[in-house]
Each structure stands twice: as structure tokens, then as C-alpha cells.
Structure 1
């Protein structure tokens, strides 16, 4: 299927690894021009280098960074059609999961909302004018299954992502008549660095459960998350949904939420 993305300009945050990297790779394959925003690049992102890709190093904890990355897209490629707010999860230097409501401090809460909600607000605020100048666009915000199915862990993250899901709905109502579609993709547990890196979620859960990282990734995590597929989601599986929503093929889809979680959420 031709997704009709050739020549369109996209900004993707958290673009150096995981879901963001898969989104960048897929958009490029569809002929889009991409600003890949992340704190630093990676060997995998560098391997995609070419005229259609610009890496912009950004620290989204800096209030000015979202506006700067959008400005670079307009400067380099002449406008903006797509914004994928993928960056999220633990703020820089933070390891999750954290257990219990009493674990995060006020500063922890501020950092979590800064990274997972306020940075998105700023990116969208910067993206709307250039999108309107081109007659519309597509915004895809990446939430979390925890926003739909809270648990006694990561309560600050859960609240921030729930806010992001609500934000997407409100924006879709305001801007759909002006040609900007806003949708949400809600992943479950995805095999990304959050889980797999040293000191990441798999190691933390393994220490709590008296297990090991490989067992957590292959068995315990899917069981904990009640995943019908029995395995973690792969980043490309989430990226495929994101890119479809960014495409004009989804021209009548706005204000929607698409769950990619291996069947974790059971509610009707």
C-alpha cells in the first residue's frame, strides 16, 4: 500500500532507538523527509543518514528544545506535516519501575510530567502554526497502557500519560476542522532499552522477583502484563501503527486511540 508520504516532512522525538528509530526508518522508506530528535544519535540512526534525514540533538527537559527542533524542520525542509511525540518513559537519569505511591518525591513528579507531558505540549504548540500554513497535518502522541490500566507502580508516569491521552482528545476536537488530525497510540510492554538496558526494568523486576533478566523478558513480564500473545511487543509493530496514522490514508481518523499491547487490556 502506498501511504502517500513521499515528500512529507516529519519530526520524530526519541528517534535514536526503540519505537522512535523504527518510526524514522519506516517514514524514510515511505519517502518522507525526517527530523530525528534525540539527546544523542546512535549507530542505528547514523546508518540511515542521507539527504532526507536530519538528526537534531535535543534535551526535551529544556523548555526551548521542542520549539527549536520544529524550527529546524521548517528551516531544513520548508515546513512540517507530521509530528510524532514518541519520547517518554523515565526522564534522563531515572530508572523505572518505582513501586508505591510514596516512592516518587515532588521533584520526581515534576521531572516525569516535564518529560512525558509538558515537552509534548510545547512541541505541539510549536508544530501547529507551520502545519496550518501547509493546510493541515498529523500529530501522533505515544501514550502507555498504564494510562488505561493503572498499577501500584510508576504512579507519576501513569498520571502523566493519562494526561497526554486526554490532551490528544481535546486537541483533535479543536484542530480537526482546520485539517490537523491528532491521534494516540498506546503501547503495552515493548522490547526497548527501557526494558533491556543494564539497570533497566528487566533488571529491577528480576531483583524484586528473585529471577534474572532473560526470564523477565521472555516470561515474567508478559505474565505480569497479562499479554495474550505471551511476548513483549516489538518496536516495529508499534511503528507501523504510528506511520499509518500519520498517513493521508487515515484522513478521517482523528481523536482516536489505538492500543498495541499484545492483548494486555481486556476491557470492552
Structure 2
């Protein structure tokens, strides 16, 4: 299927690894020009270097950062058609999972919302004037299955993602009539650095359960979360859905939430 993304300009935040890197790769494969925003680049992003890719090193905890990314995109490519707000998860310096409501402090809550919600608000605010000039504009916000089915852990993260879903619906109601579609993609557990890095989720759960870190990712976590597929998702599986929603082929899809969660969410 031709997704009709050739020549279009997309911003992807949190682009240096995991889901973000897979999104960048997928959009480039479809012929899009991509501005990748992340604090650092990394070998995966460096390997994609070329005339259709610009990396902007920014920390989205900085309130001015989203506007700088948008400015650089328009400067480099002259337009903006797609905004993918992928950056999220633990704020810089934080480690999840947090296993109890009493774990996060007020500062933890503020930082979680700063990273997962307010940075998106600022990016959308900066991007909208340019997206409104596009003939097929799209915003895709990467949320989480925990926004709809929150477990009794990571309560600050889950609440921030629920707010992101609400924001997405509101933006769609206001701007879809003006040509800017807005949707969310909600991953479940995905085999990314969030799980695999030293001290990451696999190590935290390994300490809690007494299992090895590989066993946590291959068996313990899928069973604990009752994943229908029996495995964590691959980042490219999320990226493929993002690319479809960014595409003009999804012209009648807006205000929707697409789960890529290995069957985690059971409710109808």
C-alpha cells in the first residue's frame, strides 16, 4: 500500500531509540522527510542519516524546546504535515515501574505530567499554524494502554496518559474540521530500552519476582499482564500503525485510539 507520505514533512519526538526510532525509520521508508527530536542521537538514528533526516537535540522538559523543533523543521524543509508526539514514559532520571501510589512525590508527579502531557501541549501549539497550511495534516500522539486500563502501579504515568487521550479528543473536535486529524496510538508493553536497559523495568521486576531479566521479558511479564499474544510487542508494530494514521489514506480517521497492546486491554 502506498501511504502517500512521499515528500511530506514529519516531526517525531523521542526519536533516538525504541518506538520513536522505529517511527522515524518507517516514515523515511515511505519517502517522508523527518525531523527527529531527542536529547541525543545514538547509533540507530545516526545510521539513518541522509538528506531527508534532520536531528534536533532538545530536552522536552524545557518549555521552549518544542517550538525550536517546529522552527527547525520549517527552516529545513519549508513546511510541516505531520507531528508525532512520541516522547514519553519516565522523565529523565526517573525509573519505572513504581509499584505503589505512595511512591511518587509531588515533584515526581509534576515531572511526569511535564514530560508526558505539557510537552505535547507545547508541541501542538507550536505546530498548528503550519499544520493548518497543509493539505493533509495529522497529529499522532503516542499514549499507553494504561490510560484506559490502569494497573495498581505507575499511577502518575497512567494519569498523564489518560489526560493525553482526553487532549487528543478535544483537539480532534476543534481542528479536524479545519483539516488537521488527531489520533492516539496506545502501545502495551513493548520490548524497548525502557525494559532492556540496565536498571530498567526488567531488572526492577526481576528483583521483585526473583526471576532472571530475560525470563521477565519472555514469560513473567507477559503472564503477569495477561497478554493474549504471550509476548511483548516489537517497536515496528507500533510504528506501522503510526505511519498509517499519519497517512492521507486515513483521511476519515480522527479522534480515535488504536491499541497495539498484545491483547492487554480486555474491556469492550
After TM superposition, the score normalised by the length of structure 1 is: 0.99
Q: Is it true that 1:143 corresponds to 2:123 in the alignment?
A: no
Give the distance between the partners of 2:203 and 2:134, measured in 1 at CA.
46
Query: Which residue does the alignment assign to 2:197?
Result: 197
Secondary structure in structure 1 of the residue aligned to 2:24: helix
Q: By how many angstroms is 1:212 displaced?
A: 1.3
Give the distance between the partners of 1:47 and 1:231, measured in 2 at CA.
28
Q: Which moved more, 1:233-242 or 1:219-228?
A: 219-228
Q: Is the 8 A contact 2:136 2:248 kept in 1?
A: no
Query: Which residue does the alignment assign to 2:64?
Result: 64
Question: What CA RMSD, in Å, does the superposition of the two structures yield over aligned residues?
Answer: 0.7
Task: Please list, as runs of the form range in 1=range in 2, the aligned pairs for 1:161-180 lying within 5 A after superposition.
Answer: 161-180=161-180
Give per-residue Cα distances to partners, 1:200-247, cap 9 Å, x unaligned.
Answer: 000000101111100100001111111000000000000000000000
Secondary structure in structure 2 of the residue aligned to 1:158: helix
Give the distance between the partners of 1:202 and 1:87, measured in 2 at CA.
20
Give the distance between the partners of 1:87 and 1:65, measured in 2 at CA.
13
Give per-residue Cα distances to partners, 1:44-82, cap 9 Å, x unaligned.
Answer: 110100000000001000000001001100010001000
Q: Is the 8 A contact 1:135 1:178 kept in 2?
A: no
After TM superposition, the score normalised by the length of structure 2 is: 0.99
Secondary structure in structure 2 of the residue aligned to 1:55: strand
Aligned length: 268
Give the distance between the partners of 1:156 and 1:17, measured in 2 at CA.
23
* Gap regions ≥5 residues in structure 1: none
Query: Which residue does the alignment assign to 2:219?
Result: 219
Q: Is the 8 A contact 2:228 2:262 kept in 1?
A: yes
Give the distance between the partners of 1:223 and 1:40, measured in 2 at CA.
34
Secondary structure in structure 1 of the residue aligned to 2:132: helix
Q: Is it true that 1:19 corresponds to 2:19 in the alignment?
A: yes
Q: Which moved more, 1:156-165 or 1:143-152?
A: 143-152
Task: Please list, as runs of the form range in 1=range in 2, the aligned pairs for 1:245-264 lying within 5 A after superposition.
Answer: 245-264=245-264
Q: Is it true that 1:91 corresponds to 2:69 in the alignment?
A: no
Query: Which residue does the alignment assign to 2:44?
Result: 44
Q: Is it true that 1:243 corresponds to 2:243 in the alignment?
A: yes
Q: By how many angstroms is 1:136 displaced?
A: 4.7
